[in-house]
Chains A and B, each alone.
Chain A
Amino acid sequence: MRITSLAVILALGLSAATLDAQLRPDTGAATPDARLEARLPAEARAGVRTVIDTARARGLPVEPLIQKALEGASRGANATLIVRAVNSLADRLAAVRGALGAASTETELVAAAGALTVGVPNATLRDLRRSQPDRSVALPLVVLADIVQRGVPVDTASSVIMSLSRAGMPEAEFHSLRQAVMQDIGSGANPATAASTRATGILLRVKVTAPPPAVP
């Protein structure tokens, strides 16, 4: 086989692959219609489509909205409930984007929308973003929302998460905090006390074990 033949095959193969990729539905835009058309109750389709189109026009991520609709369909929810859930999520995504900033990732926005659901105020989201502008705030928000659902008051939970965030704790420490608080609550501890005590413990431990500053 000559080099030219090889080049022709490679060029044609690349062109065809590119064409295939272009024709393949984009999960963020085109595919939703097919998935939703196939799975949603007929009465819910128009409402969900409207919410999604509006969200897309506002620059919001639409895949979480599609997933919310698909979850409702899978659970056998009625059309009204599905449209309401999708619409509510779209509103929360818009609200938290204002707090976290337009450059936030989809993961961050969805996590923040969840935190908003359990009562975490927008001010906390803004503070959290300021405390770690160059790192994702998704995991801290997931832990924050989780410990609130386990009974830790929102103010306490927010304060605890903010203290770890300001201290530049790695993500593993947020996981540790959540597990420890869950364990304490399971043992009968007061949720607020558990969260505060465990966060203090993590801060002290990391401070003690941190390497000394480098000598110039």
Chain B
Amino acid sequence: MDDDREWNRIEAELRRQPGVNRAAIARIMTEIHRPQRQPLIGRLWSWLAEPRLTLSPLGALATAALLVAVAVGVTRRGGDMSPDNVGPSVSGVAPVTRVLPVSAVEQRQAVQFVLVADSASDVRIVGDFNDWDATATPMRRSGTGGVWSVVVPLEPGRHVYAFVVDGKQWIADAAAPRAPENEFGTPNSIIMVGGSS
């Protein structure tokens, strides 16, 4: 008996509650589920952190090895001094050696070396920046004239160099300071890059 009364009381109480506004509930639920516009950094982080694939520890190891191999390969190729890797080809330049604007590669600066040698058929530059390897850094003739040039990235400091014409004649750069040492017969030249550190 008591139970019936209690149920009746609850039913009466419920009937006094206002009716449900289903349209309002729908609007509220729509707002809740609408994607929030996050700040750019938040969106970027979400994109980066969102899981896309699973990787086993072995897979992670292989990926790391691949990344290192690529990084090492790129680093070692950076030491290549061949003209194809030192900068764009140059033409129509004045016959002077000059330091070009700072390179984005580490602290190295792109230096343009120029030699006027009308009758030369091959000109190379040798110096402490290429271990004096007379085959490492060929110069390019600009157009049909006798102006030979190359752009070489150099570390800051003092560098000694010379031009090798047709594989046999070593020539100093007339526009640059002379290297004082001359033990091997013909003088070299000096270029100071990036201040005299």
Contact = CB atoms under 8 A, between A and B. Distances in A.
Given A5-B55, A8-B60, A136-B195, A73 B158 contact: no
Interface residues of B, number: 40
Contacts of A146: 177-178, 190
Interface string B112-135: 000000000000001010011110
Interface string A103-115: 0011110110111
A139 B190 CA distance: 10
A35 interface: yes
B158 A12 contact: no
Interface of A: 1-3, 5, 8-10, 12-13, 16-17, 20, 35, 39, 64, 67-68, 70-75, 77, 81, 84-85, 88-89, 105-108, 110-111, 113-115, 117-118, 136-140, 142-143, 145-146, 149-150, 171, 178
A117 B180 contact: yes
Interface in B162-193: 170, 177-181, 183-185, 188, 190, 192
A140 B188 CA distance: 18
Interface string B129-172: 00111100000000000000000000001101000000000100
Interface string B85-116: 00000000000000000000000000000000
The A interface is mostly helix, strand or loop, or mixed, namely: helix
A107 B196 contact: yes
B24 to A, nearest CB: 41
Contacts of B132: 67, 70-71, 73-74
Contact of B180 (A12, A115, A137): A115
Interface of B: 49, 51-55, 57, 60-61, 63-65, 67-68, 71-72, 126, 128, 131-134, 157-158, 160, 170, 177-181, 183-185, 188, 190, 192, 195-197
